[in-house]
Amino acid sequence: MKNAAMTESLIPPETMNLVGQRLAEPVTVRIDAREAQRYACAVGDLNPVYFDEEAALSAGYRTLAVPPTFVSHAPVAPRPMEELRPDGLYQGSDRLRLRVDRIMFGGEEWDFLEPVCVGDDITSEVRLAALDEKTGSKGPFVRTVRETTYTNQDDVVVARSRQIGIAR
């Protein structure tokens, strides 16, 4: 006879009901030249359109452009290291309640739809796009897909990311 805990889903019903829902309130930030340029340097992307307004204008941008993935960095507020959990996530940062011990990064896909420039107001909104339980060689796990939509001040979607998580 199987143990009841062995057949219990890793995904509680209340968590399954979150599919399609927003996981947090949207965050809006103004894109700042200094922060965008620091990010470009940190990732080793020294494209002149990020540093030289004349180069950006002659390339067809409204003003200085920013590296495409900077939109994911800009809305993240700094938090103290003491709030970091052993799995690399911050305490209290996740509405998903799963019957697992750890969560791992499983990959990320991006769609870059429009350029982002210094001075743009970008709003990020995260939704739970998918949630499913699977069985692998090491047993059951949960695959999560969080979709973040980045929209500018003109209500134009400039980028979308899908982040896959693996929870065991």
CA distance 94 to 116: 28
Is 6 a member of any domain? no
Q: How many residues does the chain have?
A: 168
Residue 85 lies in a domain: yes
- What is the model's pTM? 0.85
> Is 64 in contact with 36 (CB distance < 8 Å)?
yes
Q: What confidence tier does 111 reach under pLDDT thresholds 50, 70, 90?
A: very high
Q: How far apart are CA 116 and CA 31, in angstroms?
A: 8
Do the domain assignments include residue 9?
A: no
Count of the separate structural domains present in the chain = 1
CATH of the domain at 140: 3.10.129.10
160's CB contacts (< 8 A; 6+ apart) are 110, 111, 113, 147, 148, 149, 150
For residue 162, tell me if it sits in a domain. yes
CB 148 within 8 A of CB 160: yes
- Assigned token pair, 127: 């939704």
Could you give the CA distance from residue 114 to residue 92 in angstroms, rounded to a whole number? 33
Cβ atoms of 45 and 67 closer than 8 Å? yes
Q: Which of 1-5, 29-33, 57-61 has the lowest mean pLDDT?
A: 1-5
Nearest to 115 by CA among 158, 149, 64, 155: 158
On whether residue 148 sits in a domain, the answer given is: yes
Q: What is the pLDDT of residue 1?
A: 37
- Domain span at residue 62? 22-167
Q: Is the pLDDT of residue 133 over 80?
A: yes
Domain assignment present for residue 11? The answer is: no
Mean residue pLDDT across the chain: 90
